[in-house]
């Protein structure tokens, strides 16, 4: 299993683990243009002829990319899916580096608050490492986060296993998982952490209902973290 690109030694006891897409990063701002570029290219090589499935993608937002392409390209070969995955990642990273995305409001404010109050910050995402690295570097998130982890590092591609991996590696004894989808909420519960659901762009009411707390803005984490 490959080592993550970023790593800082620590003896963490308490931490907040954030999802990336739809939690810290407004993925929708680069999603549509990247998906359109990808499927337009598939059209140009005669591998796609229908409308671009942007709505279907939004429905499965946050799923591991192999699942995404199985859903969006159900009748295509595995080779085409792998090619599409690689092309989409390249386009997505380029759009991030060109500043076409954005963080959600108050990311820096809440990161400063957590750091000032001795909470370690991690990112655990279903996104690929190169994608996450592009966001971390462009927005200088490494000024606050201790490390970031991709689902690629876990053979099961299960967010709960990824969070458990982080807990063991950094000796985390208490904390919370902050995210917008059921995989984040389940990861918190499976690991004995507090689950905080973000009622943002891609969130679903039936999934958020299972969280310990629901927030409409990241700044609301201050009062919740204080209770922890």
Q: What is the pLDDT of residues 137-164, one digit of tens each?
A: 999 999 999 999 999 999 998 999 999 9
pTM of the model: 0.86
Please give the chain's pLDDT, 228 residues, in tens: 444 444 454 556 999 999 999 999 998 889 889 999 999 999 999 999 999 998 888 788 767 778 889 999 999 999 999 999 999 999 999 999 999 999 999 999 999 999 999 999 999 998 889 999 999 999 999 999 999 999 999 999 899 999 999 999 999 999 999 999 999 999 999 999 999 999 998 889 999 999 999 999 999 999 999 888
**CA 183 – CA 114 distance, rounded (Å):** 23
Domain boundary assignment for the chain: 14-26+102-227, 28-97
Record: fold of 14-26+102-227: Rossmann fold (3.40.50)
- Give the 3-state secondary structure of the chain: CCCCCCCCCCCCCEEEEECCECCCECCHHHHHHHHHHHHHHHHHCCCCCCCCCHHHHHHCCCCCHHHHHHHHCCCCCHHHHHHHHHHHHHHHHHHHHCCCCCECCCHHHHHHHHHHCCCEEEEEECCCHHHHHHHHHHCCHHHCCCEEEEHHHCCCCCHHHHHHHHHHHHCCCEEEEEECCHHHHHHHHHCCCEEEEECCCCCCHHHHCCCCEEECCHHHHHHHHHHC
């Amino acid at each position: 299993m490959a080592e993550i690109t970023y790593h800082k030694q620590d003896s963490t006891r308490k931490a907040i683990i954030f999802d990336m897409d739809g939690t810290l990063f407004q993925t929708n701002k680069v999603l549509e243009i990247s998906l359109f570029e990808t499927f337009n290219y598939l059209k140009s090589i005669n591998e796609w002829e229908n409308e671009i499935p942007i709505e279907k993608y939004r429905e499965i937002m946050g799923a591991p990319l192999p699942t995404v392409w199985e859903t969006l390209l159900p009748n295509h070969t595995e080779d085409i899916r792998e090619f599409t995955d690689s092309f989409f990642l390249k386009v997505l990273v380029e759009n991030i580096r060109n500043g076409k995305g954005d963080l959600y409001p108050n990311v820096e404010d809440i990161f400063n608050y957590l750091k000032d109050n001795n909470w370690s910050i991690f990112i655990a995402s279903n996104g690929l490492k190169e994608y996450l690295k592009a966001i971390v570097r462009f927005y200088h998130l490494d000024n606050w986060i201790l490390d970031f982890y991709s689902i690629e590092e876990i053979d099961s591609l299960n967010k709960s296993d990824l969070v458990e991996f982080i807990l063991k590696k950094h000796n985390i004894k208490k904390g919370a998982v902050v995210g917008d989808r059921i995989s984040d909420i389940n990861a918190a519960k499976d690991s004995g952490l507090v689950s905080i659901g973000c009622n943002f762009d891609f969130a679903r009411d039936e999934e958020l209902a299972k969280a310990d707390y629901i927030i409409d803005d990241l700044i609301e984490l201050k009062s919740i973290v204080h209770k922890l």
